[in-house]
Structure 1
């Protein structure tokens, strides 16, 4: 579509709770304007009064998530309880013990681990007449629920959840009747948002499978007060990248109206380079481009822009290893990971020249993994909130990406263009084994002839991997998950495959999980001479995203039967002769060549029998 002159604007997705590599299609398509979500600065929504046993009360905002069938309306005070599930947790991800009676009460449950629907169903089965889910991160969002949920559900901030729990602890220990809530129909108010202007916790992270920066831009999408179907209350406060995306679509329309001669690429460049990077108040650094893209969209600056900067982002999907001989101040560093890129700045003003200066600002580095090497659904950042340095700003420059250029400023005559050559050094003070993704922003400041200074500020985000990205394993480590593995028809792992017999009436699964998106995964059956006989059912997949534990998509798999397929498309089925076999799973490593076996991560299953 973009190649045919159509501007495509697409939501990046709402899987931020699953961490990195959650950017969805079609947002990651080449030339697409992918959009992340920023929380609104003010939240308009339904008001609920919370009353504590001490007499103190608090007005809080809640978000109706199933309002068409069950609006969160309680005209009289209803007791709130914070029940512990069978595991002793407030997460509500398992059934409640039989002695937990929620009849006539509203259950307060913490967000996390399992889906909203699972939480509500367990509370509903225990007799709850409503559910309050409080966030496990800053901000607030809407709970996506299954149609089977038929009791009112609302979301609260983490602070409001803590407020209620403290109130319950003030009571007599029973947790019953000591804290109440009243939420009247049509009671609406506006509150200042604690997380206003910050990336929404639900907004999906990049990068794309090829390490491209996605989203490319962000816009308000958290707690947006907007029109709603008349039967559902006329107005509602909704959250999602699907709220941020139409904001950017409107921005594109305005830009196209002001600049009718702009091509699809010109529009994309103008929007991205005029955006405003977002600051992470926890670390003192800028938000990583894999979370925010270029930053918050700024339609005025995009329209008024008189420069086009190419490319609008720098993807560092391959780095040199060794000394940087071209930059004298870098020669003392010795061997480091570095990349060199060229940025073209085109002065589109045909009457005035300009002086343009280049500086850079480092963003957070982020990792998919915790310090102990396990996958982290909340990306770890450096500098961290609890960093051991005195302040985030005091972090050693060696732990941050650094940008150098031989020319920091250039004069560009009217209607002409100039190139900036930049050298980007990866944060060599961070352990490569921690698998950090680094990034930052190139900041261009413009001074036009006969105009006040400065008269324009533009950015180009850059991002890359601190290490050999091509060598990363795609499949989840067996030490962490026990996968890949053979499983029976009920997806229970088979401990002793020597007892597994595949026949006309018996099937099994080859199950696995993906940590890093991959272009190709194949699952085949090999005989006792290690010869490939054919593909398993669902044994060839392309452009696989990372498995998302929080969305119920934690496993992938292929089916093992007594029939296999000769072709990738599974159109030619053949019978498997009796004998001993094993399955082979091959996942193409990042940026690998599908035709090169050495570029695959390979796992061979234990031997099983086919009758």
Structure 2
């Protein structure tokens, strides 16, 4: 099965995407999109997770299954304090998977049952065993020691006040943080170079082994070591890195860290392995469990969300990345980030941009006494070693086209001889470095330092000839231009020409400092719960990386924001001496800093970003650690119009030594329309249309109240949703209840609501649910009664033969989340007399399309080849068929056919050009 993209690809920088689909669509399959990449279902056919009834266990389960004709093979034993169950593979897939679930649920030993999902591994983090030489790490110390200027404060920590707690000696000491990820290179010197007691990574397990891919049998090992994927090593360094040549430390360097490896060297992770790992972390005494895996969902009922929520209820904080599908707009909350009580983390950009590259030095006085380290990527011609050159910038006043680049020759205002200067020039993709160098050489330039005019890491560039050629990043180029325009002179010193002499620096972010990252996934959930919970820095983060692949790396995503939040919790736990997840979430939520909205191009400095994007706002660790006013709720959900919560309440507790008078008010955030641009079916992509000036009106039982020391007071909140809005476009409104005390505490409670009916949202797209030709790579509908001649099926997967068979395939697009999505094969005409059918929701069906039905699915779309074999393994006879597509509406009853939207595809005929193999 494949999901397809309507407009934009998923950013996919973290594990926290793609829970239900091979790729999460950002705007469906419309607008002429006619290409896709083949993939497979994220549910493992015939694989189930069950939780046992009290007093039952594995032995009774398999005997009970056998008696009901459901012979099965064991996958995993899930025997834990909070989750007693097992996963298994049915030896024969039932005619109807939903019916199979019902049959399994009826087994006396079974309390609950779920199909086994696969969660996607992080994108682009799988490494070759040796992808670069790490011997340069020994050179970093000498380069760093030469730098005599700059501030040692790590910007990421300053953004969330971690630096202030470090200054007080708060490091997370005594707190156990367990990480579920891809494993860790614990041989890294910044991670202690060891595993076990006294090491940075002191406990944990390899739950799967190198060869595990998400569907095969895991082979556990005692140590969570891995260098074939860098994600887990990066996350570990964010929490616990020791002082290192890159001049950053972990946010909770005193914490005790455990790693539970849940990914092999390729592929994904099954929900049963993820459930096993998170429960093992709980059994091993974790105070905090952090994980950056899952996928776009918006539902709290899937098995992994249930397991994680249960752990939170048992007293362990769980921080989970909310996802990187921000380009797709509202209602893409991640799972298990959308679990009850879970801290779902969004991402903000760092105020300083890190760069990794070859080290060199810049000074303002051509001396070695006041040099600052910078990094660049060498080009085709290396700079000579031990050479110092003055910098000359290309600016609009010396170019014939008034730019910072050299796509055109320089004007007569430029020096005729630049042979002894390093020319600082913008890389212009319109003409490229070869043309720019050629134009600059007309002024005898021989040394060139390009800067890139967009975000991203610099790369190695080329030219016909040069005495020195390199590229640095945008923020670094802007910083130098500012200094030069202020009248300063700059001098570059190149110490070592070898590109293996690596270093890292931090430069003021000239693009989006402390702006909410546009990739961060938006809530709310499909049942209008507040999501995400909180925001921390996850954009452009430097951390540790496996030694064979360079030792350090800059990565981006809510995967990076999530371990920062876990570390913040560890610091607050140490500072306040508490462990309760609810109290801790209340603290970080109430003390957060609300950020303005950024649409990727423009900052709205006077408009707060919606709660559905930033949650409570940017975490402020010091405020949370020292607040004396406590609120008893982390947020308020007013739900949709059908289920509107008009009145609710919260409690203010004054734990200080004096009476405090509190003023109660509200600060609205932007209201966003879910739908826009005339499309009333598929949600609009980011940035969503803004409902200008629209906000809810809140009234309070007290606008001002005095609370004596050690006492509490209840405040009733009455809400009136914004008026005059287009309810069919599903506006999502939000903002913050403000609680300002005379003791200096300024606290907030984020609130969120929906105008319109979620239960009435159209689910099945009216234009994109029909049959096509699978291998034509086109969304053009097949003609009614098309005959497909295909090989006799050997599986539900398309056969990889040349030329590829002309398989029939339904396009299935859903424009809203659904608790259950079905794709059932129905027989047409005389074919109905030749096939066995089962009545499902009042309709006789032959079987299900491979990978279906799908439970708790987010908006997305699928194209799946029908080979002639159903999901249940039945090979249908030649004849005429249709697919019946049915989607259960939000809040619908799964057993009531009237609660489903239904669409029939056009008729298609299937014939086999080969026969069954004897």
TM-score, scaled relative to structure 1:
0.67
CA distance in 1, matches of 2:435, 2:566: 43
Q: Structure 1 residues 243, 574: CA separation in 2 closer, same or farther (over 3 Å shift)?
A: closer
Q: Distance in 2 between matches of 1:76 and 1:545?
A: 51
Distance in 1 of aligned mates of 2:695 and 2:532: 22
> Residues 235 and 557 (structure 1 numbering): CA distance in 2 closer, same or farther, change over 3 Å?
closer
Name which of 726, 730, 738 aligns with 1:443: 738
**Correspondences of 1:496-515 after superposition (within 5 Å):** 496-501=783-788, 505=792, 507-515=807-815
- Change in 2 beyond 3 A, CA 1:243/1:404: same
Alpha-carbon shift at residue 275 of structure 1 (Å): 0.9
Say whether residues 1:223 and 2:223 are aligned partners: no
Structure 2 counterpart of 1:463: 752
Per the alignment, residue 649 of structure 2 pairs with 343
* 1:267 to 1:581, Cα distance in 2 relative to 1, 3 A: same
Contact (CA 8 Å) 1:343, 1:421: kept in 2 or not? yes
Q: 1:540 aligns with which of 836, 839, 853?
A: 853
* 2:776 aligned with 1:486: no
Q: Where do residues 182-581 of structure 1 align in structure 2 (5 Å cutoff)?
A: 188=505, 190-227=507-544, 237-280=554-597, 281-282=603-604, 284-319=606-641, 339-347=645-653, 349=655, 352-373=658-679, 375-382=683-690, 395=693, 399-446=694-741, 453-478=742-767, 483-490=768-775, 491-492=777-778, 493-501=780-788, 505=792, 507-528=807-828, 531-547=844-860, 555-565=861-871, 570=872, 573-581=873-881
Shift of 1:521: 0.9
CA contact (8 A) 2:629 2:656 kept: no
Q: CA deviation at 1:461?
A: 0.9
1:525 Cα offset (Å): 1.4
- Structure 2 partner of 1:177: none
Alignment of 1:73-152 (within 5 A): 80=427, 82=429, 140=455
More displaced stretch, 255-264 vs 45-54: 45-54
SS at match of 2:317: coil
Q: Is the 8 A contact 1:444 1:457 kept in 2?
A: yes
Deviation, structure 1 residue 501? 4.0
Q: Structure 1's 561 and 45: CA in aligned 2 closer, same or farther, altered over 3 A?
A: closer
Deviates most, 44-53 or 579-588? 44-53
Cα deviations by residue, 1:369-399 (Å, 9 ceiling, x for unpaired)? 3333275322324256xxxxxxxxxx4xxx2
The structure number with the bigger radius of gyration is: 2
State the alpha-carbon separation in 1 of the partners of residues 904 and 556 from structure 2.
44
Q: Determine helix, strand or coil for the equivalent of 2:650.
A: strand
Whichever structure has more strand as a proportion of its residues is: 1
| Change over 3 Å in CA distance of 1:134–1:595 after alignment to 2 | farther
The separation in 2 between residues aligned to 1:297 and 1:514, in whole angstroms, is 35
Please list the CA deviations of residues 235-257 of structure 1 after superposition, one character each: whole Å capped at 9, or x if unmatched. Answer: 55543222222221111001111
The Cα shift of 1:357 comes to: 3.1
**Residue 302 of structure 1, CA deviation:** 1.2
Cα distance between partner residues in 2 of 1:55 and 1:350: 63
1:57-113 CA-partner distances (Å, limit 9, x unpaired): 969xxxxxxxxxxxxxxx9999955359xxxxxxxxxxxxxxxxx89689xxxxxxx
**Contact conserved, 1:313 with 1:462, CA < 8 A, in 2?**
yes
Deviates more, 1:410-419 or 1:294-303: 410-419
Instruction: Deviation per CA, 1:192-250: give whole Å up to 9, x if none.
Output: 43422220122222223333222210112223344555666665554322222222111
Runs of 5+ in structure 1 lacking a partner?
60-74, 85-101, 107-130, 144-151, 164-182, 322-337, 385-394, 447-452, 548-554
Change beyond 3 A, Cα 1:362–1:204: same
Q: Give per-residue Cα distances to partners, 1:143-187, cap 9 Å, x unaligned.
A: 9xxxxxxxx999758x98xx9xxxxxxxxxxxxxxxxxxx99758
Any unmatched runs of 5+ in structure 2? 1-310, 357-374, 377-390, 406-421, 437-449, 459-469, 482-498, 598-602, 793-805, 833-842, 912-918
Q: 1:495 to 1:363 in 2, by over 3 A?
A: same
Q: Secondary structure at the match of 1:538?
A: coil
The CA distance in 2 between the partners of 1:142 and 1:440, in whole Å, is: 36
Residue of structure 1 equivalent to 2:323: 13
Is the contact made by 2:670 and 2:733 (CA closer than 8 Å) also made in structure 1?
Answer: yes
Contact 2:736 2:748 in 1 (8 A): yes
The 3-state SS of whatever aligns with 2:678 is: coil
1:604 to 2:904 alignment: yes
Kept in 2, the 8 Å contact 1:486–1:509? The answer is yes
Measure, in 2, the Cα distance between the counterparts of 1:226 and 1:576: 54
| TM-score after normalising by structure 2 | 0.46
Moved more, 46-55 or 433-442: 46-55
Check whether the contact 1:339–1:425 (CA below 8 A) recurs between aligned residues. Answer: no
Tell me if 1:25 matches 2:338: no
- Which deviates the most, 8-17 or 357-366? 8-17
Between the aligned partners of 1:562 and 1:232, the Cα distance in structure 2 is: 46
Distance 2:893 2:473 in 1: 46
